[in-house]
Amino acid sequence: KQWYQRRVRGSKGIQIRYNLSQVEQWVREQNLDLEDTDVLSSLNEIRQASQLLQMNKNTVEHASAIAETCFSLNTLQLQKLLVLYSPSSEFEERVPQSVIKYILNYRPIASGAKLMLDPNKIHTVNFAYQPFEVDFTLITPPSGLRLNFLEKF
């Protein structure tokens, strides 16, 4: 299977959304979402992409909901996700061309639209590094790892 057949599906949307909620919670706990940085709003594209993977995508009515819900994603990004979307089960179908065409007509691709996220929205986070001494001679690897060939000095 191609890489996208395992990643662009509803179950991955659920996993991404859960992981993103953990990041959002951590950002709040660390008080990193300050007004001048607006870290949480910079995650909108990822949040909406994960929502898109979980949404119904079978009819024009669904396409309308997608276009309205995923307002932070540009049309090129929506099109790419919908084309690469892989059904999770035999009961689910690929996204019909009518849905993709509706979105392209509803929101035409703007000139200069980029497929990747905006690099200007990347935020750096600095962590204090606190080295500590580790005496590796005191560490015994678990027997289940079958590292009998290692010798202690």
Residue 105 buriedness (CB in 10 A; 0-12 / 13-18 / 19+): exposed
- HEC readout, 66-91: HHHHCCCCCHHHHHHHHHHCCCCCCC
What is the per-residue pLDDT for 49?
Answer: 93
What is the per-residue pLDDT for 41?
Answer: 79
Q: For the chain, what is the mean pLDDT?
A: 83
Confidence of residue 111 (pLDDT cuts 50, 70, 90): confident
What is the per-residue pLDDT for 153?
Answer: 64
What's the whole-model pTM score?
0.70
Q: What is the pLDDT of residues 48-73, one digit of tens each?
A: 999 999 999 989 899 999 988 999 89
Answer whether residue 17 shows pLDDT above 80: yes
Q: Which residue has the higher pLDDT, 76 or 127?
A: 76
What is the per-residue pLDDT for 53?
Answer: 92
Q: What is the pLDDT of residues 133-152, one digit of tens each?
A: 888 778 888 888 888 787 76
Answer whether residue 14 shows pLDDT above 60: yes
What is the per-residue pLDDT for 6?
Answer: 67
Apex 124 CA angle, 19 and 44, nearest 5: 45
